Amino acid sequence: QAKADILTVGEAFSEPAARHGNLISVKARVELKAIDRATGKIIAVDRQTALAVDLTESIASKAALEEAAAILAERILPKLVK
């Protein structure tokens, strides 16, 4: 079984931010650390927050997490392919 050259670890979470009538806003944060498995050296550390609004908290949470992850991926992927 092959192992990856880069180990990525982190966490993501979301919290309700506000309610405006039927709309619920949620703020999410995604944190990521990339580690070179061969050397143990930290290649990159980054974090991103995002806000989303929807009629349900669960959908707003997923949307905010997806947005934060997409923005973070655009920033961190170039660091991993060097």
Mode of pairing for the β-strands spanning 23-36 and 6-20: antiparallel
* pLDDT surpasses 80 at 54: yes
Q: For residue range 14-31, list pLDDT tens digits in order.
A: 999 999 999 999 999 999
According to the model, what pLDDT value does residue 9 have? 95
φ, ψ for residue 62, nearest 5 deg? -60, -40
DSSP 65: H
DSSP β-bridge partners for residue 32: 10, 46
Tens digit of each residue's pLDDT (9 = 90 or more) over 68-82: 999 999 999 998 887
**Rounded to whole angstroms, what are the CA distances from 47 to 24, 50, 75?**
23, 10, 10
27 close to 50: Cβ distance less than 8 angstroms: yes
- For the chain, what is the mean pLDDT? 94
pTM comes to: 0.87
